Structure 1
Amino acid sequence: MRRILLLIVLSLVFACSSKKETLINYTNSQIEYSGRIDSSKTKAAELYWSGTSIKFNFEGESISALLKNEKGDNYYNIIIDNDSLFILRPDTIKRYYKLASKLPKGKHTLEIFKRTEWNRGKTSFYGFKLEGNSKVLKKPISKKRKIEFYGNSITAGYAVEDLSGKDSPDSTYTNNYLSYAAITARHFDAKYQCICKSGIGITVSWFPLIMPEMYDRLIPKDPNSKWNFSLYTPDVVVINLLQNDSWLVNMPENDEFKARFGTKPPNEKYIINAYQQFVSKIRKHYPRANIICTLGSMDASKKGSKWIKYIRKAVDHLNDTAIYTHVMPYKKSVGHPSIEEQELMAKSLINFIKENIDW
Structure 2
Amino acid sequence: MKRIGWLLLVFNCFISAICCAQETVDFNNPKIFYMGRVPMRDTAAELSWTGASVIINFKGAAVKATLNDEKGLNYYNVVIDGKVANVLKPAQGRKEYTLASGLSKGKHQLQLFKRTEYDWGRTWIFSLSVDGQLLPPPVFKHRIEYYGDSITCGMADEDTTGKDRGDNDFENGFASYANVTARYFNADMHCIAKSGIGITISWFDYVMPDIYDRAYAHDTTRWDFNKFTPEIVVINLFQNDSWLVKAKDHEQFKKVFGNNSPTPQFIISRYREFVKNIRSKYPEAKIICALGSMDATQAGSPWPVYIQEAVDGLNDTNIYTHFFAYKNTPGHPSVKEQNAMADDLIAYIKRTFKW
Equivalenced residues, count: 339
AA in 1 matched with 2:186: D
AA in 2 matched with 1:138: P
Residue 145 of structure 2: aligned partner: 148
Task: Report how far residue 225 of structure 1 moved.
Answer: 0.8
Task: Report how far residue 85 of structure 1 moved.
Answer: 1.6
Q: 313, 318, 323: which is aligned to 1:317? A: 313
Residue 4 of structure 2: aligned partner: none
1:210-264 Cα offsets, whole Å, 9 max, x none, are 0010100001101x21011111110000000000001001111111111111111
Say yes or no: does 1:272 pair with 2:268: yes
AA in 2 matched with 1:26: F
CA distance in 2, matches of 1:158, 1:74: 13
CA distance in 1, matches of 2:84, 2:311: 43
What RMSD, in angstroms, separates the aligned Cα atoms of the two structures?
A: 1.5
Task: Report how far residue 60 of structure 1 moved.
Answer: 2.1
AA in 2 matched with 1:104: S
Q: SS of the counterpart of 2:290?
A: strand
| TM-score normalised according to structure 2 size | 0.93
Q: SS of the counterpart of 1:126?
A: strand
CA distance in 2, matches of 1:189, 1:19: 31
CA distance in 2, matches of 1:126, 1:269: 49
Q: SS of the counterpart of 1:28?
A: coil
AA in 2 matched with 1:22: E
Task: Report how far residue 169 of structure 1 moved.
Answer: 2.1
Say yes or no: does 1:138 pair with 2:136: yes
Residue 261 of structure 1: aligned partner: 257
Task: Report how far residue 83 of structure 1 moved.
Answer: 2.9
Q: SS of the counterpart of 1:129?
A: strand
Task: Report how far residue 17 of structure 1 moved.
Answer: 11
Structure 1 residues 310 and 84, CA gap change in structure 2 (3 angstroms): closer
Q: 178, 181, 205: which is aligned to 2:178? A: 181
CA distance in 2, matches of 1:215, 1:84: 29
1:65-119 Cα offsets, whole Å, 9 max, x none, are 1011000000000011223521000000211101111222211211100000000
Q: SS of the counterpart of 2:273?
A: helix
CA distance in 2, matches of 1:309, 1:22: 56
Contact 2:59 2:134 in 1 (8 A): yes
Residue 115 of structure 1: aligned partner: 115
Percent of aligned pairs with the same residue?
Answer: 47
Contact 2:198 2:208 in 1 (8 A): yes
Contact 2:57 2:109 in 1 (8 A): yes
Task: Report how far residue 18 of structure 1 moved.
Answer: 11
Residue 328 of structure 2: aligned partner: 332
Q: SS of the counterpart of 2:204?
A: coil
Contact 2:78 2:88 in 1 (8 A): yes
Residue 36 of structure 2: aligned partner: 35
Q: 296, 316, 338: which is aligned to 1:300? A: 296
CA distance in 2, matches of 1:17, 1:309: 63
AA in 2 matched with 1:176: G
Q: SS of the counterpart of 1:218?
A: strand
Residue 230 of structure 2: aligned partner: 234
Unaligned runs of 5+ in 1: 1-15
Task: Report how far residue 20 of structure 1 moved.
Answer: 4.8
Unaligned runs of 5+ in 2: 1-16
Residue 163 of structure 2: aligned partner: 166
CA distance in 1, matches of 2:124, 2:117: 15
Residue 86 of structure 1: aligned partner: 86
CA distance in 1, matches of 2:34, 2:129: 17
CA distance in 2, matches of 1:324, 1:136: 41
Structure 1 consecutive aligned stretches of length 4 or more whose deviation exceeds 4 Å: 16-20
AA in 2 matched with 1:348: D
